Structure 1
């Protein structure tokens, strides 16, 4: 099943705690503070990948958590930072922070975007040494990482989008000119999910058949209309078996205009 929308909660890692430690010197009880700081909590990033089907792996993944930083140690040693968490998302994803409304679009493979920042580590007692207080017993806790709810919507990136009524021959054409293996049938809505094919390095998308009222949610509806928005070119297929090809052409044009006039 093709998944083009997911929602999840995410929380970046907590910073490690600073510690109270002392230099060990013979005959000196407290040879001076040397407690290290805690490590930074792991941040959470989104990275764009080519695989448009990767969202299906996250169908049941409702929560992501970053790795916590490690606490400091004696000898002025700082704790290790928590490992950053990388979430792979398909090219064309629009990631929206539900709380803030901020969004970012993944438009190049390898593009990396920070979603949530890990919490800073706490300070060890070495940080609190002064000329007045040479034996500080204070250390601070690491702080929690950022958190938020996110929505990811996929808008396919393709150079050519094949559109038309059901059974217009879109899947047959895609199979004929690319290495795709799209399902073909004589009944409506054989194609339930977008199919992609590679034609000499150019990506072609077979968009499931549109019908009158698609812009209002009828049939497969608005779910797949958004995938048309980012295609560089639309190829409108009309079956030669259609008794009124001009009517079929105008039907689809009408739905495109109702959804987004810039598509006309």
Structure 2
């Protein structure tokens, strides 16, 4: 089975969910008031992309585009915290660029061991032991685990090569790489022989550099014609571009000058995703196949025109290896000068951005879909809502206290919110009722909150009383029975 080269893949990454916290009370003989002992849930596992020099293609992601991190375990009683989910590491080739589905470059992964967190795991929920305070000594609730991050990403491989070879199909690019390096690309005399970029390592004295070709680059490639658009990305990192011209072609209407002009036009139309301009890169022109007499005469004829444009010209033959030594050392000098001009690599710095004085961590805006409503956005309030168990009144009251301390209620009042108006946070809509500071501190039964007593919900005490009445029968029923007799 022939091997496949894949240099672009769309993947769906999903980090692990955080484990739920545990609501538990310590129970032991002769210790009726043991206190809360529920443990925290474990954090969900991240999905991380790691550069591995042993990986050369994105083929694995082509067949397995879905990746998910491990979920965190739930907390347990006796202060036992849940285990964290396992981090999933995905190995990618050197030179992989990570983009969003909108085309925004998120990371450029160059260098062995470079890491990028593609999706972050959800936080584990706090157990009731961690939620205990002076006002709430024995919480009857725990926080839920936060869902892990999910998103689609586009991976594109851009070869890390110093020299890029450009030219029409069958111009001799693969042959040139094969004689200058140990690479063994497929070589034949028909269009689009090379269907994948070839990469070779070339030595020029003490200088070692890499060389890659761009297969199928023809006029119209920048608009998607042929194969060039798929592989132009592989020369974005190149220090020098080399035009390989076939001086022995028999195709009518083609000549070395028009070939170079056509390819230069395609380079000018192509916009590198990594920034920069391909038109500003150093250029060389290689007139190939001068072992053919007619080709040698044509090379001598067009050489002055290229030199008049300020381009260095080399006449070579990959068959007789004429001119290869001069070309190799010239490329080595250009690559060495390019590397010397680049700033020295610096270790990754930890950048700490201070929080703005007027940044409350949330925003409140009018709801565009519901008149009189408001939408609250922010990392903290949205996370708090996702971690709240709305089946537990005490947990809902705790959420209200947190939002109040954050300043959400004050901001709603400032914007003119009226009691009962709908307020949406993280997709959950509430009927806003201003709370009174300090109400949450009143003693109440576990799992209840005084502010929600008038909510119309049937409390646990009411359900218990109803069951008792059903078992024993009400006095009214007994009186009515005696009257009938």
TM over 0.5: yes
TM-score (norm: length of structure 2): 0.51
Q: 2:46 aligns with which of 39, 43, 46?
A: 43
> How far apart are the structure 2 equivalents of 1:130 and 1:211?
71
Q: 1:26 is matched with which residue?
A: 29
Q: 1:263 aligns with which of 259, 263, 278?
A: 278
> How far apart are the structure 2 equivalents of 1:142 and 1:37?
9
User: How far did residue 174 of structure 1 move?
Assistant: 0.8
Give the 3 Å change call, closer, same or farther, for CA 210–136 of structure 1 in structure 2: closer
- Structure with higher RCO (Cα < 8 A, 6+ apart): 1
User: How far did residue 262 of structure 1 move?
Assistant: 2.6
User: How far did residue 99 of structure 1 move?
Assistant: 6.8
Q: 1:149 is matched with which residue?
A: 152
**Residue correspondence of structure 1 range 76-95 to structure 2 within 5 A:** 76-95=79-98
> How far apart are the structure 2 equivalents of 1:252 and 1:51?
33
Between structures 1 and 2, the one with greater helix share:
2
Q: 1:219 aligns with which of 217, 226, 235?
A: 226
User: How far did residue 258 of structure 1 move?
Assistant: 2.8
**Residue correspondence of structure 1 range 127-206 to structure 2 within 5 A:** 127-200=130-203, 201-206=208-213
Once superposed, what is the RMSD of the aligned Cα atoms? 2.2
CA contact (8 A) 2:97 2:105 kept: no
User: How far did residue 12 of structure 1 move?
Assistant: 0.9
User: How far did residue 25 of structure 1 move?
Assistant: 3.5
TM-score (norm: length of structure 1): 0.90
User: How far did residue 180 of structure 1 move?
Assistant: 1.0
User: How far did residue 101 of structure 1 move?
Assistant: 4.5
User: How far did residue 58 of structure 1 move?
Assistant: 1.3
CA contact (8 A) 1:24 1:31 kept: yes
Higher radius of gyration, 1 or 2: 2
CA contact (8 A) 1:98 1:148 kept: no
Q: 2:63 is matched with which residue?
A: 60
> How far apart are the structure 2 equivalents of 1:110 and 1:226?
22
Question: What SS does structure 1 have at the residue aligned with 2:165?
Answer: strand
User: How far did residue 115 of structure 1 move?
Assistant: 1.8
CA contact (8 A) 1:3 1:53 kept: no
CA contact (8 A) 1:41 1:119 kept: yes
CA contact (8 A) 1:167 1:209 kept: no
**Residue correspondence of structure 1 range 107-126 to structure 2 within 5 A:** 107-126=110-129
Question: What SS does structure 1 have at the residue aligned with 2:260?
Answer: helix
Give the 3 Å change call, closer, same or farther, for CA 240–97 of structure 1 in structure 2: closer
Question: What SS does structure 2 have at the residue aligned with 1:238?
Answer: strand
What are the superposed Cα offsets for residues 54-76 of structure 1, whole Å, 9 maximum, x if unpaired? 31111122321111011122332
> How far apart are the structure 2 equivalents of 1:100 and 1:58?
19
Aligned residues: 264
Give the 3 Å change call, closer, same or farther, for CA 177–101 of structure 1 in structure 2: closer
> How far apart are the structure 2 equivalents of 1:165 and 1:52?
29
1:15 aligns with 2:18: yes
Gaps of 5+ in 1: none
